[in-house]
Amino acid sequence: MLENQWSRGNFVCVGLDSEFGKIPESEHIRGNNYGVNIARTIAAFNRAIVKATGGFVCAYKLNTAFYEANGDEGIGALQRTIADIHAIAPDVPVILDAKRADIGNTNAGYVDAAFGFLRADAITVHPYLGAEALQPFLARAEKGIIVLCHTSNPGAGEFQDREVVLTFDELSTVVGDADLANYLIGEMGWSYPTGGYRIPMYQYVALRVSRHWNRSDNCAVVVGATYPEKLRAVRRIVGDIPILIPGIGAQGGDVEKIVSAGKNNCGQGMIINSSRGIIFASQGADFAKAARRETERLHDSIIRCLNHTGN
């Protein structure tokens, strides 16, 4: 689904972080049930955004927090929105931004909820519990499993930049090939002051995901747009697998820098997410038109950057 959209020049992911209190007080959306039927309001708002933006996007991403905060009505809106996307834009994948991770049998429940009850096409997960615990996700070869690698928040480096120390033999085992390990050492500039090569944790996660977890070709990684040089480092490690890139727009990511750093060898591979900057571009009745305008603007900026760099 992603490759089909990339072939059309679509790299924008619209984040439907539809916080109820920020939805415009349009009669078309809220009707006469202001503050009462939350599910209908959120679903109607999202449906209007999807109808307006569908031709310019490679994916829609729904952060579950904005729906779970509204209890049963919020979960109803989440389920309804995913069903609406499948109906309105059936060739556009839906990413459930849930950041799940637990022990294996608990993850089995998360899998059923995400892919069965909600019918999402992909989900974000934490790597902290390791591949063994994430097997219920990774085993779903027909679904996208998007692993947090380096997030966009200012405090991301507290753990993600900490170093893992590996001997050459250990690194070769992780990479799977001594020659490739040597290549990456040179390419990444990993130092060896004493005891082993110093590899930032986020790069080690990228290695594990791309070299060991992606056996079904269903893995992607998350790298925030606010760290373009770290995005570039991850792209060197993971090759052509997709990278979900949040942090454009309200969080301040630079489009030209992330396209240069995030594109793969085919000039593709990017899922560039903008949420608030698109869906809340207007607080008036023209919110859907404004969302389309901002989506098209980001789309055009990405294409210009790709053309500028020869892709």
Whether pTM > 0.85 for this model: the answer is yes
102: helix, strand or coil: coil
Active site residue 257: no
Rg (CA), the chain: 20
pLDDT of residue 129: 96
pLDDT of residue 293: 97
How far is the CA of 22 from the CAs of 16, 70, 305, in angstroms?
12, 13, 32
Cβ-based neighbours of 37, under 8 Å, separated by 6 or more: 31, 73
Are the beta carbons of 121 and 90 closer than 8 angstroms? no
Structure-block tokens of residue 15: 């984040």
Residue by residue, DSSP assigns 51-93 as HHHGGGEEEEEEETHHHHTTHHHHHHHHHHHHHHHHHH-TTS-
pLDDT of residue 248: 85
pLDDT of residue 104: 84
pLDDT of residue 27: 52
pLDDT of residue 33: 46
Cβ-based neighbours of 63, under 8 Å, separated by 6 or more: 15, 16, 17, 97, 275
Catalytic residue chosen out of the listed positions 51, 99, 257, 289? 99
Are the beta carbons of 151 and 128 closer than 8 angstroms? no
2-157+216-308 homologous superfamily: Aldolase class I (3.20.20.70)
From 11, 92, 9, 8, select the one nearest 49 (Cα to Cα): 92
Stretches in the chain below the pLDDT threshold 70: 26-36, 249-253, 309-311
